[in-house]
Amino acid sequence: MSLLLAGSAQSQTPAIIGGGYRDPSILSVAPGQLLTLFVAGIGKHLSSKPLTASAPLPLILGGVTVTLRQSSAPTTVSVPISAAVLTNTCQSLGNTPCTGAPLAAITVQIPFELAVDSPQDPSQRSEAILNVQEDGVSSTDFLVAAVYSNIHFVTGRGPLALDYVSQNSIHGAMVTHADGNPVLPGLPAKPGETLLVYGYGFGRPANNLKTGDAPQAANPVPLYGSVLFSSLLPASAGTASGNLGSLDSFQYISYVGVTPSAVGVYQINFVVPPIPAGTPSCGNGINDWNFMVTVGSSVGPQSFAFCVEP
């Protein structure tokens, strides 16, 4: 309901009405995070064809600028923009007939200067304010939670940081072999093989990186929380929950950090651990995955699943 009201024709002041990877979303942001803001009341220079930018990302795109400010850091920081497009409130996967209100979808990279909460004391919540401007007209302020890590594993669909998948889905994440080919039931991973998975929002890297620039080399990022490797056992075949045989931990992780040459993209390199006896094969129209990795983060665990050859 709030989405429709914020996007109504009566609103004369541009307003950010949501953001993240679903529309709308309760928004937490991490330093360096690539995500899409949905803004009502702007877009006069935009169309349904996305405007995209390459690194270094510009601070203005399609007449739109974005700023971020915090009480702990009084200076207002400009936010680089990677893409902008006109959409509406009727982005239905089922193509349901709907008369929607126009929205501008603005994909930005949250500045690395963002002051965040403490991993040791999550109760100490930091906040920030986002504001969008078009042709000198400012939106209403939009308050966000500033967190040290906000991991989201990506599917790699399109130029915008949008993933229109079920909130509880663990399918479709970009898990690849070392040669870049996707891990699929017909091209499964093998125990002992190194795989890569890509995501957004892992947080500030160890070495300074300018927001909007494409990193030129590996740059590690601390991975907070836990890492859990789980095999799909027959008792839970075909489901995302149930009797999971679990293998712990960080010993299988070889790299967590930024992806060279890609703005705002992170990756985890990991070795597939030994597979417990009884793990079913995947494919054959039954399971398209039989192994899952769950990574703890500041705003809850995130999981991805893929196919391993038993």
Express each pLDDT in 56-112 by its tens digit. 999 999 999 999 999 876 679 999 999 999 888 776 556 677 777 888 999 999 999
- Quick one: pLDDT band at residue 54, thresholds 50, 70, 90? very high
State what percent of residues in the chain have pLDDT above 70: 75
Give the residue among 120, 42, 115, 119 at the shortest CA–CA distance from 81.
Answer: 42
Question: What's at 144, amino acid-wise?
Answer: V
Considering only residues 170 and 264, tell me which one the structure prediction assigns the higher pLDDT: 264
- Torsional sign, CA 67, 68, 69, 74: negative
- Please determine, for residue 158, whether its predicted confidence score (pLDDT) is greater than 60: no
pLDDT greater than 90 at residue 211: yes
Q: Which residue has the higher pLDDT, 160 or 139?
A: 139
* Whole-angstrom Cα Rg for the chain: 20
Looking at residue 243, what is its pLDDT? 41
- Cα angle 122, 128, 131 (rounded to 5 degrees) comes to 155
Closest CA to 148 of 68, 32, 70: 32
pLDDT level of residue 289 (50, 70, 90 thresholds): confident
**How far is Cα 115 from Cα 82, in angstroms, rounded to an integer?**
22
Q: What is the pLDDT of residue 18?
A: 63
More confident residue, 93 or 46: 46
Per-residue pLDDT reduced to its tens digit, 228-239:
888 877 654 444
pLDDT band at 161 (very low <50, low <70, confident <90, very high): low
What is the pLDDT at residue 241?
Answer: 40
**Cα separation, 241 vs 163, whole angstroms:** 22
Residue written as token pair 């030129």? 216
Work out the average pLDDT over 30-49.
92
Q: Is the pLDDT of residue 171 over 80?
A: no
Q: What letter would DSSP give residue 158? A: S
Q: Where are the beta strands (DSSP E) in the chain?
A: 15-20, 28-29, 34-40, 51-52, 64-70, 73-78, 81-88, 102-109, 126-134, 137-138, 142-146, 152-153, 175-177, 194-200, 227-232, 244-248, 253-258, 266-271, 291-295, 302-306
Which tens digits make up the pLDDT trace of 245-273?
A: 555 568 899 999 999 999 999 999 999 99
Mean pLDDT of all residues in the chain?
81
Higher pLDDT, 12 or 309: 309
| Residue 48 pLDDT level (bands cut at 50, 70, 90) | confident
Domain boundary assignment for the chain:
2-146, 151-310
DSSP letter, residue 140: B
Q: Report pLDDT for 98.
A: 75
168 or 17, which is more confident: 17
Under the banding of pLDDT at 50, 70 and 90, the label for residue 225 is confident
**What CATH number matches the domain at 2-146, 2.70.70.10, 3.30.430.20, 2.130.10.10, 2.60.40.10?**
2.60.40.10
Q: Which candidate, 240, 227, 244, 246, places its Cα nearest to that of 302?
A: 227
β-bridge mates for residue 245, sequence order: 231
